[in-house]
Amino acid sequence: MFKKFYPTKWVNSIYKDVDFQKLYDLGYRGIISDIDNTLVEHDADASEEAVNLYRTLKDIGFKVCFMSNNDEIRVSRFNKDMNTYSIYNAKKPLATSYNKAMDLMGTNKKNTIFIGDQIFTDILGANNAGLKSILVDPISKREEIQIVIKRFFEKIVLFFYKRYKRKQDNSRTINIS
């Protein structure tokens, strides 16, 4: 029942817990990433850490596309120091923007991975588009009320996800990093 909300992998931080070189070695060439609470706190400009991560990804050989349900002003402000592909008003969890991101990067479902912090938008959208995904814990605990409410329901999904992963660990599983 909940599987359509399950990420391929769940980690604490995009900065500390994702082995991007290993992903590249496994054949991934495109990364679609959410912005708010995945890379920076909600509505923050690109941090030095985010800019350095982007440079590292570029040096490895990745194409990157930032995707947000936020407006053009917010996404452009975040992207100004990185000047990479970006999609605003993405309407996640619809698959349309995920497909557009792959078109922009020249990648496909097999060599693109999505990284985000919300199950009901980011991860569901990646699953709808047929992509592997990495769920990261939100950077900040301070969020708008509608996201706080979603986080309550995410805890329920994550309870079942953990149980599902324990069962998978006892059998064979696809490891992406």
DSSP string for residues in 141-167:
S---HHHHHHHHHHHHHHHHHHHHHHH
In a domain, 101, yes or no: yes
Taking only the tens place, the pLDDT of each residue in 85-101 is: 999 999 999 999 999 99
pLDDT at res. 121:
94
Q: How many domains does the structure of the chain reveal?
A: 1
176 inside domain = no
In a domain, 151, yes or no: yes
Q: What integer pLDDT is reported at residue 19 of this predicted model? A: 97
Kindly report, residue by residue over 3-62, the tens digit of the pLDDT.
Answer: 899 999 999 999 999 999 999 999 999 999 999 999 999 889 999 999 999 999 999 999
> Is residue 174 a part of any domain in this protein?
no
Q: Is residue 139 pLDDT above 80, yes or no?
A: yes
Predicted TM-score (pTM) of this structure: 0.87
Spatial distance between the Cα atoms of 14 and 138, rounded to a whole number of angstroms = 10
Q: At which residue do the structure tokens 């996404």 appear?
A: 75
122: alpha, beta or left, given left = phi > 0 and alpha = psi -120 to 50?
alpha
Report how far residue 150's alpha carbon sits from residue 157's, in angstroms, rounded to the nearest whole number: 11
CA 21 and chain centroid, separation: 17
Q: Which CATH number is 14's domain given?
A: 3.40.50.1000
Residue that wins the pLDDT comparison between 36 and 144: 36
Range of the domain at 125: 3-169
Residue 148 has pLDDT above 70, yes or no: no
